[in-house]
């Protein structure tokens, strides 16, 4: 384990003025995205979808990292250049999603745990040798009556901690992503409590597994009322609740915090990030790691047509600029 390499990489992931693009949809998710756009779900179209973003020139001005999926980690652009090489040539770090999706936890109310620990050490070594600098593991936590449960928090926190430890042993920085879901009709107060309990469970396990926190990045959801809730909450209140929650439980040694968009409308995610940035300085560096909130505006223009690539990339770059501005608290909508 190269502590200095890990620490340096972790700091680069959350370096100020840039973010991380989550281009790591699983095959079913990527296929669903294509089908919703009226595009046939094939490997070639998944490759074209990813090239739309990876092939945009100059995105190193806005991104510290891009997270890939196993398929895209091995793919090339239309002229045969590996995606990993294109990303690195932009000065961007390469990330890889290593969990294998979620399955139900028996005897719970719809709670799930993430699969993927099998052969993870060997997979991580292969990804490192292939150019990966960091990895990501996502666990999900819905909010409801008596959930997240202790069982769901325990099993997922154990997996996240073991994953993080294995990453560090392979000189890959772990991005730990316990996502408290935005679905449902819960209030912001219920979201606060759920997020607090989940993060406490995760950091207790990280400590038990002796994971180096200064070589680790947390990727977390914002504290939000559920999308089906009638509760009206200001952007500023969401930012304050989010940071209050994180300050209570996230140790200052953590290299940084990435915020996920979690299904928010792109403009809402950007506005909330903007308000969070206004609360700096914070105990850790904060940045964005959005997927849909960055990709969707460009995808709506592209829709699988080559003649739309140029216009879609202009919108993609504009979306990146907006989020970089928000990361500095300077976004004007």
Tell me the CA distances in angstroms from 244 to 250, 283, 309, one per residue in order: 10, 12, 41
192-210 per-residue burial string, b: 16 or more CB within 10 A, e: under 16: bebbbbbbebbbebbeebe
3-state class (DSSP) for residue 49: helix
Phi and psi at residue 178, in whole multiples of 5°? -90, 100
In terms of C-beta density within 10 A (0-12 exposed, 13-18 middle, 19 or more buried), how is residue 79 classed? Answer: exposed
Task: Write down the catalytic residue from 18, 112, 136, 177.
Answer: 177
The C-alpha atoms of residue 331 and residue 136 are separated, in whole angstroms, by: 28
Task: Write down the catalytic residue from 25, 136, 219, 271.
Answer: 219
Is 321 designated active site? no
Is 219 designated active site? yes
Report the candidate in 249, 254, 257 with the shortest Cα–Cα distance to residue 280.
Answer: 257
Catalytic positions: 177, 219
């Amino acid at each position: 384990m190269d502590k200095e390499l890990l620490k340096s990489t972790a700091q680069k992931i959350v370096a100020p003025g840039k973010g991380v693009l989550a281009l790591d949809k699983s095959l079913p998710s990527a296929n669903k995205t294509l089908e919703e756009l009226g595009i046939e779900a094939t490997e070639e179209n998944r490759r074209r979808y990813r090239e739309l973003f990876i092939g945009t020139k100059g995105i190193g001005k806005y991104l510290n990292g891009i997270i890939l999926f196993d398929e895209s980690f091995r793919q090339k652009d239309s002229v045969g250049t590996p995606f990993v090489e294109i990303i690195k040539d932009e000065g961007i770090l390469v990330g890889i999603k290593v969990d294998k999706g979620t399955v139900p936890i028996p005897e719970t109310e719809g709670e799930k745990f993430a699969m993927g620990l099998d052969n993870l050490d060997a997979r991580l070594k292969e990804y490192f040798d292939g150019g990966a600098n960091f990895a990501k593991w996502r666990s999900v936590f819905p909010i409801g009556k008596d959930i997240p449960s202790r069982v769901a928090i325990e099993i997922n926190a154990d997996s996240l901690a073991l994953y993080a430890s294995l990453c560090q042993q392979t000189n890959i920085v772990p991005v730990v992503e316990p996502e408290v879901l935005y679905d449902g009709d819960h209030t912001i107060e219920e979201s606060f409590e759920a997020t607090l309990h989940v993060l406490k469970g995760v950091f207790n396990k990280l400590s038990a597994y002796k994971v180096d926190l200064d070589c680790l990045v947390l990727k977390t959801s914002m504290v939000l009322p559920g999308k089906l809730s009638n509760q009206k909450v200001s952007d500023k209140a969401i930012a304050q609740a989010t940071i209050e929650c994180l300050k209570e439980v996230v140790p200052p040694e953590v290299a940084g915090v990435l915020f996920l968009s979690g299904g928010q409308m792109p403009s809402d995610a950007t506005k909330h990030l903007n308000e969070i940035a206004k609360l700096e300085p914070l105990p850790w560096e904060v940045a964005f790691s959005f997927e849909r909130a960055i990709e969707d505006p460009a995808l709506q223009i592209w829709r699988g047509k080559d003649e739309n690539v140029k216009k879609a990339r202009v919108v993609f770059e504009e979306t990146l600029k907006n989020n970089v501005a928000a990361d500095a608290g300077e976004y004007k909508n």
